[in-house]
Amino acid sequence: MALRIDIITVLPELLESPLSHSIMQRARDKNLLHVETHQLRDYALGERRQVDDYQYGGGAGMVMTCEPLAECIDHLQSQRDYDEIIYVTPDGNRFDQKIANRFSLTQNLIIICGHYKGIDERIRQTYVTQEISIGDYVLSGGELAAAVIVDAVGRLLPGVLGDSTSALTDSHQDGLLAPPVYTRPAVWRDQEVPAVLQSGNFKLIEEWRTKQALKRTQERRPDLLEDG
Ligand code: 6GU
């Protein structure tokens, strides 16, 4: 079953390249992932196609106005039902693998990209069902965050990754960081690939990988072991 993602943005160009190469392009070519960008200005009235205005109460920074966003969302909702309307914003819930997994099981998503000081609170109250941040830092706009979400979700869709077990062994998929990996040559600048990986004993290899994953997680991200 394919996933459709509609992205509302004033900068569709920013989303083009990240979603048009490698695994994302393959997902789209196979019709497993359908991404559409919508230029918010096309839904703005007036000659200047303005989508922002000064904020009530004063202060620096513009706010994205209600009407163009409402027009665009209404137009999309008249065509199909959406599982989630996601607003990407630094004050949202922190995006993680669990949320990516959940979104990958849906069929139709809208992602709203904010700019300036963000969007009018009433749009959040009226339409938005999920508010997502991709980390504790501020980007200039939501587009790069949207691209991150589409990539993380798109690669989980069944049939997208060539090796169907590959996504299951990623860092974070089992709550642990991934173990170290090696490829040829077996010796490089006097550094040898661990003997166990060359042993052909799959049980020992699995044990080694689990141990290394735990060790790496303990050293780098002990918080992952505490949160469960
Ligand atoms: Cl979703 N948007 C922006 N503008 N900045 C962010 C973010 C999102 N997540 C982290 N920083």
| Residue in 138, 143, 150, 151 to alter for ligand 1 test, most ligand atoms within 8 A of Cβ | 138
pLDDT of 8 reads 98
pLDDT of 116 reads 79
Q: How many residues does the chain have?
A: 228
| Domain housing 8 | 3-154
Q: Provide the number of structural domains found in the chain.
A: 2
Question: What's the Cα-to-Cα distance from 16 to each of 2, 38, 132, rounded to whole Å?
Answer: 20, 12, 21
Last residue of a domain, one of 154, 182, 205: 154
Q: State whether 113 and 9 are in the same domain.
A: yes
Whether 130 lines ligand 1, by a CB cut-off of 6 Å, is no
Q: Whose CA is nearest to atom 7 of ligand 1?
A: 90
**Sign of the CA dihedral with 136 first, then 137, 142, and 143 last:** negative
Q: How confident is the model at residue 227 (pLDDT cuts 50, 70, 90)?
A: low
Burial zone of 149 (CB within 10 Å; 0-12 exposed, 13-18 middle, 19+ buried)? buried
Residue 94: inside a domain, yes or no?
yes
- Looking at every residue in the chain, the average pLDDT score rounds to 95
Assess whether pLDDT exceeds 80 at residue 203: yes
Closest atom of ligand 1 relative to the 95 alpha carbon: 9
Q: State whether 204 and 96 are in the same domain.
A: no
Query: Among residues of the chain, what percentage have pLDDT more than 70?
Result: 98
Q: State whether 62 and 127 are in the same domain.
A: yes
Residue 53: inside a domain, yes or no?
yes
Q: How confident is the model at residue 185 (pLDDT cuts 50, 70, 90)?
A: very high
Residue 109: inside a domain, yes or no?
yes
pLDDT digits (tens, 9 = 90+) for 44-73: 999 999 999 999 999 999 999 999 999 999
pLDDT of 130 reads 98
Gap between the Cα atoms of 131 and 86, Å rounded: 6
Q: State whether 33 and 128 are in the same domain.
A: yes
Assess whether pLDDT exceeds 80 at residue 164: no
Residue 223's domain is classified under what CATH number? 1.10.1270.20
Residue 126: inside a domain, yes or no?
yes
Q: State whether 216 and 136 are in the same domain.
A: no
**Sign of the CA dihedral with 136 first, then 142, 144, and 150 last:** positive
Whether 134 lines ligand 1, by a CB cut-off of 6 Å, is yes
The residues near 98 (Cβ < 8 Å, ≥ 6 apart) are: none
Q: State whether 208 and 107 are in the same domain.
A: no
Gap between the Cα atoms of 217 and 192, Å rounded: 23
